[in-house]
Amino acid sequence: MKRREFIATSLATASLSSTARAQSAPIRIGLMAPLTGVAAAGGREIVDGFTMYWAEANNMAGGRKVEILIEDDASNPDTALQKARRLVEQTKVDFLAGNLLANTGLAVANYVKGNGVPYFIPVIAANDLTQRARIKNVIRVGGYAASQFSPPLADWALKQGYRRVAMIAQDYTFGHEQCGGFAQAFTEGGGTVIGQFWHPLNTADYSPYLGQVASLKPDVVFAMETGADSTRLVQQYASFGLKGRIPLLGAQNTIDQSVIRTMGPECEGIISAAHFAEGADLPATQAFVKAYGARYDNKIPSLYGFTHYIGAMWIAKAINAINGKVEDRDLFLDTVMKTDLPDSPLGKPVRLDAYGNPVYDVFIRRVMRNKDGKYVNAPIGSYPQVSQFWKYDPETFMRQPPYSREFQGIKKA
Amino acid sequence: MSLFSLLNGLTFAALLFIVASGFTLIFGLLRIVNLAHGALYLFGGLVGYSAAAATGSFLAGIAAGMGAAALLGVALDRGLLRFVRGFELRQVLLTLGVAFVLNDLALVIWGGDTLTVPMPEALQGAMEIGPVFYPKYRLFVLGLGIFVFAGLWFLLHRTRLGALIRAGVDDPETIEAMGVDIRRVFLGTFMLGAALAGLGGVIGGAFLTLYPSADSEILVFSLAVVIIGGRGSLVGAGVGALLVGLLNSFGQVLFPELAYFAIFGPMALLLAFRPLGLFGKAA
Amino acid sequence: MKRAALWILVAALVLLVLPQVLPGYQVSIATQILIFGVLAMSIDVLAGFAGRTPLCHGAIFGTAAYVVLYWTTVAGGGIFTGVALGVLAATALAAVFALLAIRTSGVYFLLLTLALGMIVWGVCLRWTGVTGGENGIRGLGRPEMVADHVTFYYVTLGVVAPVTLLMWRFVHSPFGLTLRGIRDSETRMRSLGYNVPLHLFLAFLASGFFAGIAGALYAIFNDYVSPSTVQLTQSVAGLLMAITGGIGTLLGAFVGAGAIILLENTVSAFTARWPIVLGITFIVIMIFAPEGIVGRIRLLRARMRRVSSP
């Protein structure tokens, strides 16, 4: 054998054996969640839901072992960035998933934009990540775009005969986008927005806003809140005597299981729209709810646990389809985009649109007691195949400005 | 509308007064800016929540919350602060460390869900006051705030302990020269101040809810109250609480964009020109 | 004097070689230590040399970061102008704070600066149109020339080294000596005819300028800014670093920043209970070593010298 040939062959063998080694080494997933700070309760459920799926799958996918490396983002974007760097550059994970607060997700998305590491965001809802400022390697498996579920809710409200809506919402992008989706669909369908009240996050006292809402005498109120703000709004809505007088509609997060879990009758009867309803009678949903409760001391799964469970399911199915070759990022991302889930706990098939956001059958849900006396969101209606663009053409939709305080898509009468 | 905002401001002020009066007592007598005061509020509130949920009694919740906060206060004073007695800044920063520990501990124990102290049946619902419909519980908070003010005033001006505390605020050396064990007075004050934080936690936890970071929010409001009112002054805490409560309520309606400015802007200006606050005396 | 020169040489060598031996992520940690070292030094200028402990430097630091990112993304400007404007904004903010705060001292100074910092935080959170509110401002990516960690480290070092020298000269100048005189006895300095408020004002200004430099570097480093960068915790973290290193030692700031950042990185790998660890660290330092690491070493050395030389 000539010397040059020898070198060439031995190099080939070396590279072959190193790919072979990469193929047999475990797949490393970096999961980030707020385990301390404001969003810690939801963060716990992110970890619970995500790891529950992998435990059921014996921590295997595509013939390879799966390792999950969990980092606390401390509900703080600066920390999230540092942890993302650590996971990618030091721990050398194959891809990232998780985060709860929009700002942590946006910071991490900005980081992976530069290095192409796949990043899956079942909770981060910021519209632009799957619309105008789409990043190819950021995919919202299991999650929803902020303004995806509020248009069907607006449509439902119009069908009930409500014509004048007042809106209370947290004053940041997530609030602007959910309200924008509602306001646009509601006004285009003939309704009027008679008032929008934006308040800062962590508003202890809703009395100033509720007073103004009551004096407007709307047909219906739409509230977009998260975390402790949701609890307070729903409680104060009842204690100021508005419950029962003016029907209350909520964004999915306003009345999520994580919120109503600690509440009493004040949450009963609130209507929202979402892809998941923990009180749905579907066998697949109930099997999941039961398994989740059995694993995590009788907790009913919330949005955070659920979305990360099906997010993990989505990723796993794609990894199986490519026999574990997650190192080939383009192939991996393309496969995730093409993967659909016929048999998730949603009980209905779901797929991703061309922008990396799922298309769902959306439930209209009402808070009621289940047979154990616990409060759950149960379906009272549904809208098939709702995408993040509602009934608009994607290109046309993205030509209008992003929803903000100034632009709510309100149609002039 | 304006009566409504006025009531909102007053009821919030009552809660702020309960919390801030404890803060100002400790600050006045012991010269300690207790930055763990918010953590005592949260911890007391959470203990009160558990007790009230377990026994079904709101009063038991209040007792447990105040007791737990007072015990933590003793532990803080006897266990940690005595090592740094006399060093103002070291005391402040030490209490900041304690606040970190207590908050995270609360997260470990109660899990970080948003919790609401169950309020008694009689205080649920709303009642009509003239043209407005107003929650009974908030009116109860307003009454309680006035009651606490009266109680503290009586304690400070009509009892021997109160006389010692007041004298201690102005001149601790003389008290000691009179043969009084000032340490015991210090400890009693610290317990009382901490218990007031715990009381605030239970009361506030029933209408503002308890959640991670509730501590720093109430702490910042209390700081504003005490800075405006002046160190160690009960009347100052009352006036400060009213100002902050009303500024907060009307500020959110009139200029929601500048809600923070409405409270901290006037406070910063006041402090720049009257560094000791409205009713503060030079040490 | 020769000993000091030797130490500086060793430190410089270590800092230069560091990125060649450390893996990429650790280099980014080293960069972070340098940046926060400057923040902690800027706090030390006030706390250690002027005797005024501030709790607003997170706000000053963060303001610079906001301006840099706003200028380079929304306004579409260049990075150098952005940095210059950021530092300028930080200094201007410090001037306003100084005007309001220098009349106070001790705990009142601490509380007033805390409140001023809260206002800035509130503005960043609520002035959505400019600051992006809760979601903050995302940059367009680090400039190409400093995209990788090693280059960025050297650039940071290239900025931090002269800045450190400048600060060292500043606190050891006659002006710095006057500041220390004010710290030890304000009344004496006043009776000696010094303009105390003016000195404190200028010290605050200088401190804000340096905090602004740190903030501008941090903006480029993270390529992202949000209200959590200006919040109280940031001011507390900076102060803790200054104290851990040793108040009034200036260079101790780097030791403090290194200790806290490395501690955070190690601890968080084992437990999610980082706030408890941080809190306990704070308590222990306040009780047992209020003079900080560098201060403690100096004390021990002084004691040993006294023992060895009769």
Residues C48-76 have pLDDT tens digits of 999 999 999 999 999 999 999 999 998 88
Cβ atoms of A39 and A340 closer than 8 Å: no
User: Residues 230-249, chain B: which have Cβ within 8 Å of A?
Assistant: 248-249
Mean pLDDT value across residues B41-68: 96
Mean pLDDT value across residues B156-183: 79
B226 vs B260, residue with greater confidence:
B226
A212 and A315 share one domain: no
Q: Are B213 and A235 a contacting pair at CB < 8 A?
A: no
Q: Is the sign of the CA dihedral A55, A61, A63, A69 positive or negative?
A: negative
Confirm whether C88 is domain-assigned. yes
A329 and A380 share one domain: no
Q: Kindly indicate the confidence band of residue A10, based on its pLDDT and cuts at 50, 70 and 90.
A: very low
Confirm whether C217 is domain-assigned. yes
Angle between helices C106-126 and B259-273 (to 10 degrees): 160
Confirm whether A6 is domain-assigned. no
Extract the runs of DSSP E, i.e. beta strands, from A127-219: 138-139, 164-170, 192-199
The token pair that represents B46 in the structure block? 């959470």
| pLDDT of B276 over the 70 cut | yes
Domain final residue pick, A304, A325, A347: A347
What share of chain C in percent tops pLDDT 90?
55
| Residue A258 sits at the chain B interface (C-beta within 8 Å) | yes
What share of chain A in percent tops pLDDT 90?
80
CATH code (residue C107): 1.10.3470
| pLDDT of C303 over the 50 cut | yes
Please, what is the end-to-end C-alpha distance for chain B in angstroms? 43
Q: What is the pLDDT of residue B204?
A: 95
Q: Which of A395-399, B63-67, C10-14 is predicted least confidently? A: C10-14
What residues make up the domain containing A233? 150-281+361-399
Task: Specify the pairing of strand A119-120 against strand B126-129.
Answer: unpaired
| Residue B111 sits at the chain A interface (C-beta within 8 Å) | yes
Q: What is the pLDDT of residue A239?
A: 86
B124 vs A260, residue with greater confidence:
A260
Q: For the segment C100-150, what is each residue's pLDDT rounded down to a tens digit?
A: 888 888 888 888 898 889 889 888 887 878 888 888 999 888 887 777 889
Confirm whether A355 is domain-assigned. no
Its pTM stands at 0.88
| pLDDT of B1 over the 60 cut | no
ipTM of the complex, rounded to two decimals: 0.86
Q: Is C92 exposed, middle or buried (0-12, 13-18, 19+ CB in 10 A)?
A: middle
Confirm whether B118 is domain-assigned. yes
Q: Max CA-CA distance within chain B?
A: 59
Query: CB neighbours of B96 closer than 8 A, spacing ≥ 6?
Result: B35, B36, C236, C282
Q: Are B223 and C275 a contacting pair at CB < 8 A?
A: no
The whole-angstrom distance between A45's CA and the closest CA on chain C is 15
A162 and A231 share one domain: yes
Q: Are B260 and C123 a contacting pair at CB < 8 A?
A: yes
Q: What is the pLDDT of residue C111?
A: 83
Q: For the segment A335-344, what is each residue's pLDDT rounded down to a tens digit?
A: 999 999 998 9
Q: What is the pLDDT of residue A111?
A: 93
Task: Specify the pairing of strand A95-98 against strand A27-33.
Answer: parallel
Q: What is the pLDDT of residue A413?
A: 65
SS (H, E, C) C165-180: HHHHHHHHCHHHHHHH
The whole-angstrom distance between C296's CA and the closest CA on chain B is 16
Q: Kindly indicate the confidence band of residue A21, based on its pLDDT and cuts at 50, 70 and 90.
A: very low
Q: Are B208 and A205 a contacting pair at CB < 8 A?
A: yes
The token pair that represents B279 in the structure block? 């009713």
Confirm whether B282 is domain-assigned. no
Q: For the segment B81-93, what is each residue's pLDDT rounded down to a tens digit?
A: 989 887 888 888 8
Confirm whether B125 is domain-assigned. yes
CATH code (residue A208): 3.40.50.2300
Which range of A24-28, A130-134, C83-87 scores highest in mean pLDDT? It is C83-87
What residues make up the domain containing C128? 25-308
> In whole angstroms, what is the distance from residue A332 CA to residue C218 CA?
34
A313 and A220 share one domain: no
Q: What is the pLDDT of residue B105?
A: 93
| pLDDT of A19 over the 60 cut | no
Q: What is the pLDDT of residue A16?
A: 43
For C223-260, the DSSP string reads SEE-HHHHSHHHHHHHHHHHHHH-TT-STHHHHHHHHH
Confirm whether A247 is domain-assigned. yes
DSSP tag of A218: -
Which CA distances in Å does B114 have to A172, A253, B42, B49, B147? 21, 14, 12, 11, 29
A201 and A268 share one domain: yes
> In whole angstroms, what is the distance from residue C65 CA to residue C93 CA?
13
> In whole angstroms, what is the distance from residue C244 CA to residue C281 CA?
9
Q: For the segment A261-271, what is each residue's pLDDT rounded down to a tens digit?
A: 989 899 999 99
The whole-angstrom distance between B209's CA and the closest CA on chain A is 7
Q: What is the pLDDT of residue C308?
A: 67
What residues make up the domain containing B120? 2-273
Average of per-residue pLDDT values in chain B: 88
Q: Are A110 and C223 a contacting pair at CB < 8 A?
A: yes
Average of per-residue pLDDT values in chain C: 90
Query: CB neighbours of A8 closer than 8 A, spacing ≥ 6?
Result: none
Number of domains in chain C: 1
Confirm whether A121 is domain-assigned. yes
Confirm whether B42 is domain-assigned. yes
The whole-angstrom distance between B31's CA and the closest CA on chain A is 30
> In whole angstroms, what is the distance from residue A71 CA to residue A136 CA?
24
Q: For the segment A138-166, what is each residue's pLDDT rounded down to a tens digit?
A: 999 999 999 999 999 999 999 999 999 99
Q: What is the pLDDT of residue C43?
A: 96
C158 vs B265, residue with greater confidence:
C158
Alpha helices in A57-134 (DSSP H): 77-85, 102-115
Task: Specify the pairing of strand A64-72 against strand A60-61.
Answer: antiparallel
Q: For the segment A217-255, what is each residue's pLDDT rounded down to a tens digit?
A: 999 999 999 988 999 999 999 988 899 899 999 999 999
| Length of chain B in terms of residues written | 283
Q: Which residue of B has its CA nearest to A262?
A: B115
Q: For the segment C147-170, what is each residue's pLDDT rounded down to a tens digit?
A: 788 999 999 999 999 999 999 999
A155 and A199 share one domain: yes
Q: For the segment C239-290, what is each residue's pLDDT rounded down to a tens digit?
A: 999 999 999 999 999 999 999 999 988 887 787 788 899 899 889 988 988 8
Mean pLDDT value across residues B267-276: 76
> In whole angstroms, what is the distance from residue B45 CA to residue B37 CA?
12
Q: What is the pLDDT of residue A23?
A: 60
Task: Pick C272's closest partner by Cβ from A72, A114, A126.
Answer: A72
> In whole angstroms, what is the distance from residue B203 CA to residue B147 CA?
14
| Residue B107 sits at the chain A interface (C-beta within 8 Å) | yes
> In whole angstroms, what is the distance from residue A29 CA to residue C277 CA?
27
What share of chain A in percent tops pLDDT 70?
94
Mean pLDDT value across residues B247-276: 76
Q: What is the pLDDT of residue A13?
A: 43
| pLDDT of A74 over the 50 cut | yes
Nearest Cα residue to C45 out of C281, C253, C269, C220 = C253
Number of domains in chain A: 2
Confirm whether A113 is domain-assigned. yes
CATH code (residue B184): 1.10.3470
Query: Where do we find the tokens 């809703």?
Result: A206
| Residue C266 sits at the chain A interface (C-beta within 8 Å) | no
A42 and A108 share one domain: yes
